[in-house]
Amino acid sequence: MQNDKLTVSGMRPTGPLHLGHYFGVLKNWIALQQETEAYFFVADWHALTSDFADTTLIRHNIREMVTDWVAAGLDPERCVVFRQSLVRETAELSLLFSMITPVAWLERNPTYKEQQQQISGKDLGNAGFLCYPVLMAADILMYRPYGVPVGEDQLPHLELTREIARRFNSFYGATFPEPQALLTPAAKCPGLDGRKMSKSYYNGIFLSDSFEDIGKKVRGMFTDKARLRKSDPGNPGVCNLFPYHLLLSTDEEQAEVRAGCVSANLGCVDCKKLFLKNLKVFLTPLHERRILFTEKPGMAEEILAIGNEQARAAARATMADVREKMGL
Ligand code: TRP
Ligand code: SF4
């Protein structure tokens, strides 16, 4: 019923990936492809739940996201990379789950309530948006994984996945596992302006940014706002840049930055230079892997075509079982 070595996760193709995506989720995915049989998909149907009115960018965004994934280190030889909307069995499973899911479960989902309130300028009264977690349960349970690597924001959705699995099993017999979240230890990646790094605020450092653009962005980045001159002692605890040293600099460098900052021996300009140096070391192999995609147009599509075959084989097997159990 449960595959103890299998994990599944997905990401909506809404734009280029930034450092927050890398340290929050992708890094975890890259580790899991070594340790588990891992399925990763482009959640293009999920993107439609909120961005249904204008779909002109969807193909482009899918290609870019797969490029970002592989550049970051996902290896299609080691994991299954596929596109949600091409595993049509998922739509069938989602429909069947919608039969057994009380609307009240969906309405009380905290993410649903929050987004309805917070996202203005978009009409989120559509049924697809309310049913987001039902589709997500189908994405996940289709492959009967033990774990789902996600960010903390997805925990309510995963709880619903488990509840749907439990309810299905209670009606039709043991079929689905109750997968657990595989959380990445919280990595703090503030946006350049101090707000959350987000595609919509355009305040991020993207994995595909050129070093020239990154240099400009970093020079303009907020640090400790109270530190006006180099002779003022700074406070790494409130600095916007310091969390990046925790991710990219060695322990010794971190200690030096901390000491130099609080004693006013290290200025923000030099501190940023160190960060840029380490960021360059980190991003160079990613940029090199990207070149393959520019040299070979159609590479992302090829990767997805292979992954889709593998995902569909697994999905067909699950659906045969589900139809049988439900007497269809
Ligand atoms: N909801 C996820 C997000 O916004 C994307 C997603 C869709 C997903 N289906 C999934 C994640 C299944 C993990 C498993 O990031
Ligand atoms: Fe931040 Fe570095 Fe400036 Fe200190 S020296 S405030 S850590 S940028």
Computed on alpha carbons and rounded to an integer, the radius of gyration of the chain in Å comes to: 22
pLDDT digits (tens, 9 = 90+) for 213-255: 999 999 999 999 999 999 999 999 999 999 999 999 999 999 9
The verdict on the CB of residue 274 being under 6 Å from ligand 2 is no
Structural domains of the chain, count: 2
Contact indicator for 221, 241 with CB cutoff of 8 Å = yes
Give which of 25, 67, 58 is closest to 185, Cα–Cα. Answer: 25
Q: How high is the mean pLDDT of the chain?
A: 93
CA gap 17, 291 in Å, rounded: 17
Q: Which region among 52-56, 104-108, 182-186 has the lowest average model confidence (pLDDT)?
A: 182-186
Gap from CA of 233 to ligand 2 centroid (Å): 9
What is each CA distance from 134 to 49, 103, 128, 215, in whole angstroms? 12, 10, 9, 43
Residue corresponding to tokens 């103890």: 4
Domain harbouring 84, CATH code: 3.40.50.620
Residues 26 and 175 in one domain: yes
Give which of 180, 266, 193 is closest to 231, Cα–Cα. Answer: 266
pLDDT at residue 134 above 90? yes
pLDDT digits (tens, 9 = 90+) for 249-286: 999 999 999 999 999 999 999 999 999 999 999 999 99
pLDDT digits (tens, 9 = 90+) for 70-87: 999 999 999 999 999 999
Residues 282 and 305 in one domain: no
The verdict on the CB of residue 266 being under 6 Å from ligand 2 is yes
Residues 218 and 287 in one domain: yes
pLDDT mean over 303-313: 98
Going by pLDDT thresholds of 50, 70 and 90, the confidence category of residue 199 is low
Residue identifier of the C-alpha nearest atom 5 of ligand 2: 268
Alpha helices (runs of H) in 210-267, residue ranges in sequence order = 211-219, 242-248, 251-262
Residues 76 and 93 in one domain: yes
Residues with Cβ within 8 Å of residue 168, at least 6 apart in sequence: 97, 100, 175, 176
Whole-number pLDDT of residue 27: 93
The verdict on the CB of residue 87 being under 6 Å from ligand 1 is no
Residue 91 lies in a domain: yes
Whole-number pLDDT of residue 251: 97
Domain harbouring 283, CATH code: 1.10.240.10
pLDDT mean over 106-110: 91
Residues 155 and 170 in one domain: yes
pTM value?
Answer: 0.93
Residues 142 and 231 in one domain: no
Residue 194 lies in a domain: no
* DSSP code for 152: G
